[in-house]
Each structure stands twice: as C-alpha cells, then as structure tokens.
Structure 1
C-alpha cells in the first residue's frame, strides 16, 4: 500500500485532473470536477477551483474535457491465472460455438513456477487497459493441486504472494482458499482436513490477501445441476455437490463446512445457484455469524425474496455476473421454466432489500471487460440498475467484500489512488454503447499502468 501521512502535508500534488466528471462513489455518490493525487494517495476531490491550488511547478495536469473518472474497477470474481492461460478464448464462447467450429486449443497444464507466473502476469497485463485495479481469485488451494489445468492449486497462491512481494503486480489481489474440486465434489472430512492442515502464504499488505475459503455447494441451473425448490422442466430438483449418502446428509455436511470455516475466522464465499441451495446457505451463514466477516453468495442465479430479506438482515453479500443474462438466459429459461425465472439474477430486488451487491465477470467464463457487464446491467428489461448503482457494484461494494473499503473503492481524500479515466461522460452515454467507450488511463497506487 502507499505510504501514509505525507500526502496531506505537501504544498502541491503529483498529478491533478480537472474539467471532468469524477464519480467519487462516496456515501452520497457525489460527482466532482477535479481530483488531485499526492504520494500515491488521493489528496483532494472537488471543483476545479478547489483543486487548482495544488498545482505546482512539478505537477502533471490532465485536462479531462468532460471525460469520466471512476474508482479503479474491482472484478470481485475473476480467475486470473486461468484467464492468463486461456486468453483469448472464453468458456461461454466455446459453449455457444456451432458443432462444426474448430475445437478449443488444447492447453498445457501449468506445471512450473515460470508457467504459473507467466499466466498471472499475462492476466494483469490484460486487465490494466480495462481499468481493473483489483480482483478476487475465487478458489485456489490444495483441493486442486492435482487438477487438470494447474491454474487453481496451492502453488498459485504462493506465486501470487511472491509476485506481490517483488512489486510485480499491477492489480491488488484477494484470494479464497479451495479445499475441494473446482466446480466439483467436496467432502466434509476433506474440507476439515484442509482447514486444519493448510497454511496459506502471508499477506503482502495492500497487494495480496488470502481472505477466506470458497465452497462449491451445487452446480448451475442450465445444466440441471443446481438444487432448486422448483422442479426442472425435465423433472427433478437437482442436488448438492457436497458428498453424502442422501440429500439430508449432503445438506448437513454443507452446513457443517460453513460452521467450521466461520469458527476458524474465515470469510466464506459459497458457489450457490439453485433456489434451495441459496436458501440453505444463507440460513447457515446467518446462523454462523452473518455478514460480520463479509460472507457472500457467489452467482446466486435463483434467489427467492425471503432469502434476499435474510441476506440483507445478516449483511450477506451477493456476487453475480450480469453478462450471464444474455449468454445463458435462454438456456436457463428452458431448464427451469417461466415461474422460476421470476427469481433469476435478482440484482435490483437485492439492492432494494438492502443486500450488498457486487457485479463481476467470472472470467474466463465471460469476458473480463466490465464495460459489457455494466451495459448488460443498465439495459436489462427487468432488474435494471441505475448508473450509480452499477458503478458502486463494480467498485465500492467489492472493496467492502475485500474488507478494504476504508482505504480503496471510492475517490475520497486519503484513499489509495486507484482509478480509471474513460473517454466520455458516462452519464451522457447510451448504456448500450458503454462497451465501445475507451479506457484512456488506469492508475494503481498513484502509478500509471495504462495510458493512451
């Protein structure tokens, strides 16, 4: 993290941006005209006149001419190492490809430190031009040490810590540990053994932090593998992924996993997509301490209003991907039917209930380009968000999820200078055109990591 204490004492700023639309994402969603950066921190935000006094002989001045400044984008659910390995291929593109299309390229398993580092650094190089300054690796650990890709094992956690210590990351990384298979089965004994026997690498303050654990509770509704209250159109209700002799035993094991992780002091992110799964997980999280450790539901494809109300009361977050509505909505409707779709990806209902909402990409499932996700969130016929809500869901609420909202996520004096500059005034831009808006600058910790 940047050094503290010096920025407020200097007579002039290192960099000043004036004449723009500065989305502060503070408590009042204030929009300012200008911003000053000093020693890696935001030293002032306000009108052009209020910031002009910080311009000195060595200050770089950027004339925004109406352009937008946003806090750095925080993709709060992005598989960075896997993205670095797969790019430019995306999983949903492969699923949508016609049968005659060329098969996906066979990729070499990441076996060596050099290969893992190359994938991580490639991801950060891809993300900087998109304005992404933080992201969460949602599942790295011994449960995937023998996995087919090599992108999710415990060695990847160590590579992140080492790269952060060497100052080679262009984005701040939060990680969750994984004690089962990615998108696969896990067992209560294996989970408990992981909690007890695995020691993650230590934090690199401001740059790398292992926040807690990820649990895969079920699959996904379009494939009929989510656990639903409503029956699928082909029959059945799906099931949990957690091992057990029957549904009752699997549910008890899942609840025990959540309780054990909570008792160990971990933040808990649960991949939960079916309506019965989301209800079960939220009940377990609320019973084990609620949102005090900023626990959250990952994906949350189907959530009933009663579950949203309990999430809000316990401050349990929802981390979901708006791009899935366009790419998987038709498949989901065909699998679960019209009645269940009333509760599909309820982002607006979640905010109305008071649920902390994060929007993310799940890349490389979808593109890491948040502009497409934002456009989807702003143009969805139902559950449409406002621009201010969408910006907050990509910046300040992910910082809350990271436990870092006191020092990043908004453009306020004293916080780290993580930001991006867009070539237009977003408030005056057709939401459908947002994917075409250029990111002209990305700054992390007061350092420019991308500029056109």
Structure 2
C-alpha cells in the first residue's frame, strides 16, 4: 500500500512539474507594449495597478512593476507615465460618425448667440461662392438668442436674397430656410404638414416662417455643394476621434457606410472599433441579405437597428404626456402611430435584432418600454439589450422598468449641461427633476451607456465626463453646485459608462470596457491625473496616447 502511494505521489509530482513547465512557457511570452504608471482598470476587484503588459492585441497581465517585468523583451515598447493616468479605452455609444466628419468642414454656427452674428457670417460666406450658389450651415441654436426666439426666413433674406440658405439646428431635428430655399423646395402656405413633421407658420398669414421640423425636413430640395465623399468624411472623423482618446464608437451607418468601414478595415486605416447601427426601416432588406446584429469581428460589427419615436427638447418636438410649459398647445411629434411603432419593434425582436430607439420625451420613453414589454410577452425573454437613445425625460413610474425589461439607457451627459439652459422653460421644474436622471436610473438598477451624439454635441469625451460629475454648463460654468445635483456621478462611474457601459450595450463587456488580462488592449492615456485635478481641468487635460489593440494609434507630440 505504501509503495503504491509512493508511486502515485511521484506521478503527481511529475504531472505538476509538467504543468508548471507549461505555465512558465506561457508566462515567458514577451509583451509588445508595457505601460507603467497610474492605471485605472475599471475592475472593481483591482481598480488600480501600476503596470500593464499587452501583446497580440490583448492584455497579457496587469499588476505591479515587478510582476510585469518578466514580460519585457528586446522588442517591447515601454511607455512610462511620470504623471497622468491610463484608463480603459473610451467608447462613444452614440455618434453620427460620417456626418460628424462632414461637419468638420461645413459652416458651423455652434455657440453663436445672435441672429445678427449669423447674418454677418452668411454674408461673408456668400462672397466666397459663385452667384446664386446655396449656403448650407449647421449647429445654430436659437435658445442662445435674446429671448430664445425662433428666427425667420426674413432674417436670412436680408443678407441672402439671391442665394438659397439652409441651416440645420444644432440637434439636427429642425432647419431654418430663407424665402428662396422655401420656393425652390415648393413649400408655401398650401403645403401640408407631413406626418411627424411641422412647417411652422405665421399665425396671422399662414405663410411658412422658414422653420421646418422633423419629417418636414424631407421636403427640402436644395442640395449642398460641399465637395466631400462619405469615405473622406469617415477618414476625417477617424483622425479627429483618435486625438480625443476614443478607441470605439457606436456609429450611425447605412449599408454604404458599412462597406466603407470594411474597406478601411482591410486597408488598416480603421483606427478604432465600430459598432455600426442601421436604420430600422431597412429590416426586410437586412433579413433578405442575411445580415444579423453582431456579425463581424472585434473591429467592425453590425450593431442595433435605429428607430425614432419623437424629436427633441430644443426643437419642441419631444413626445410628452403633458403639453410644453412654453407651448401649451403642443406636446411633441410622434414619428409613428403608436400601434405601428409597437409592431415595428416586435418584428425586430422576433428576428433577434437589438433596437436602439431615439426617445427624449417622457411619453416617447414610455412607448419604447411598452413595446419591449409587449414583445417579451409575445415571444418570450431574450437577451437583446434594447436601448433607449437619449432617455432624457422619464416619468417616475417608468424608472424601474428599465431593469425589469433589460433596457439600456444610452445617454449623453452633455445634453444635460446644454439643455439645462432651457429645460425648465420648456417643461417646467417638476418634470425637469426627472430629466437626465442618471443617479435615479442607477438606483433603480438600470445600465447606462454614455456617448456624445456627435455632431449634435462635440465628440470630445472630456466634456461628457465633466458634465456627468458636475452637471454644470460648460460654456457659462453654472449653476454653482450643479443642476439637480442629486443626479451627479463620481468620476469612476462616469468613466465606467463611457467604457464598460458602452461595451455592455454592444454585447462586448467580456472583451473590452475594463483593463483585465485576456481583454482587448484598448487604452486611453491622459497627461494629467483626472482623479486629482480640479473638475474644470478635465476639459483641458490632454490625451497623450490612444492605444487600440495594443497599438499606439495616436501619440501627442511635445509642444
């Protein structure tokens, strides 16, 4: 018996030796990149480490400098941070990426605070154009004008009687046209409002004022003359994004954009990861082509189907249960009849598509939750992670339904700090208590995913982080203490929803969103420590490295 035990012991020792030998071979792997310094992993069990090793596109190990030393080899690039902090690669969960790339070369009126200044800018632009050429612009915001009054076609006619002018509001949900642009588009007092849209009219004459909202934008016939291809727009956007530390985006796409991303992926020009969403109206075509959510690789995947149920707070078209405080005869513009909307989302659910629905008003949010509940009752529970894009105003009784139904609140912190200027004017103080309510959603068990909605807001994620932790308007630095400060987040939480939350919203939380061994080596490195600087300094703290798959795609040059 003793002899048998001895032989057995020897065999176990031999097997253990072989296992350890295999482990030593594995840990003998050398890193392509080693990062040393303050590293915030986003992993609750080990939130801070002082070193990280990456190779083969993934994180090999995290830990102390001593633990990571063994991964150093002759080919290893070492980045040592003397100050600053590395965090999981930032992911923007809501962008109009190609459109954002185009916006970088278009005439922008972002932040312009009067009609007169816009008139001056248009007059200068016309000097550069051929006679009669159209003038296109974007990102004007009438809530910055004195009295927050809507402008009119006559305001544009004063400086542009011979050139058609079309300027989209900053939210993209309304446009401001001059008389010539209205005429060329065939829009007059006899033109009917399309379903889900509005031609704003003079209450005395019935003539169009020059403001078109929502689906009425489709009536515009004037075409832009800006020379830029969709591929050029995307390349411009990629260059912009990598300088801001973004390692991934969820991007508004069509089948054309999808092919461009595939081409850039093949050419090695895709410097971030793309979760490409498609318009829900094309669902039959996608089914016919065999396209499914999640198809692709770690760099490019087909994402959710995008639907719209309402408009925006700024344009006064968000779908509300009660009328707007400043427009008692209006309560928003639904983009579908209620039953048609429910059936559309049920169809997507039945075919295993994730859906992200633009819903800003409390009634719009309620309809999305109703649609998901109906689909689940009809087809049974599925892990499809339906999303509400924006989810800006929510009725108190609807907060718990996010967790109950597994619906993600895909939100943009800068919408809060921009819209706070007019939110209480538009919907009153009581409803504003439940606006951009991140803390209340978390307390009710919801999952958040953060983004920018670029180009509605700037792409810069530092603005989102700052907005989430302060709830203060960036441009005017108010109010002291924050707007409804009980909804503020900590910096660690804000980072979480720009990383893990966005990864969860694309079913990728197991491969990215935190810095852990085995996950993708996507890292954003800041030149100052975001956790110790004053909140306002976050806005100007430089990104010094953007790392995707262990490769440095952006390195800030010394000034």
Scaled by the length of structure 2, the TM-score of the pair is 0.70
Mapped pair 1:157 → 2:258: yes
Matched, 1:210 2:291: no
Other-structure match for 2:32: 14
Matches of 1:269 and 1:225 in 2, distance apart? Answer: 19
SS of 2:297's equivalent in the other structure is coil
Q: CA deviation at 1:98?
A: 4.2
Equivalents in 1 of 2:306, 2:527: separation in Å? Answer: 37
User: Is the contact between residue 296 and residue 302 of structure 2 (CA under 8 Å) also seen in structure 1?
Assistant: no
Q: Distance in 1 between matches of 2:249 and 2:358?
A: 17
Counting only pairs closer than 5 Å after superposition, residues 60-139 of structure 1 correspond to structure 2 as 60-87=77-104, 93=110, 96=113, 98-101=115-118, 102-103=121-122, 106=136, 115-138=229-252
Structure 1 position 448 matched with structure 2 position 552: yes
Going from structure 1 to structure 2, the CA distance change for 1:34 and 1:196 (only over 3 Å counts) comes to: closer
Classify the secondary structure of the residue corresponding to 1:222. Answer: coil
Q: Which residue of 2 aligns with 1:436?
A: 540
**Structure 2 residue aligned with 1:144:** none
- CA RMSD, Structure 1 to Structure 2 (Å): 2.6
Aligned to 1:386: 490
Distance across 2 between alignment mates of 1:344 and 1:48 = 45
Larger radius of gyration: 2
For the structure 1 residues 292 and 437, does the alpha-carbon distance in structure 2 shift closer, same or farther, using more than 3 Å as the test?
same
Separation in structure 2 between the aligned mates of residue 218 and residue 431 of structure 1, nearest angstrom = 34
Corresponding pairs, count: 416
Contact kept in structure 1, 2:413 and 2:467, CA below 8 Å: yes
Separation of aligned partners in 1, 2:45 and 2:521? 20
Structure 2 residue matching 1:276: 3-state secondary structure: helix
Give the distance between the partners of 1:97 and 1:444, measured in 2 at CA: 42
Distance across 2 between alignment mates of 1:323 and 1:227: 21
* Mapped contact 2:27–2:71 kept (Cα < 8 A): no
TM-score (norm 1): 0.85
What secondary structure does 1:279 align onto?
helix
Distance between the aligned counterparts of 1:27 and 1:306, measured in 2? Answer: 31
Which structure's relative contact order is higher, taking Cα pairs within 8 Å and 6+ residues apart?
Answer: 1
Structure 1 stretches of 5 or more lacking a match?
1-6, 142-153, 181-190, 244-249
User: 1:262 & 1:110 partners in 2: Cα distance?
Assistant: 40
Verify: 1:238 aligned to 2:352, yes or no.
no
Aligned to 1:294: 385
CA gap 1:29/1:326 in 2 versus in 1, 3 angstroms: farther
Aligned counterpart, 2:53: 36
Q: Is the 8 A contact 1:90 1:363 kept in 2?
A: no
Structure 1 residue corresponding to 2:368, chosen from 281, 287, 308: 281
Output the CA distance in 2 between the equivalents of 1:106 and 1:242.
26
Q: Is the 8 A contact 2:106 2:226 kept in 1?
A: no
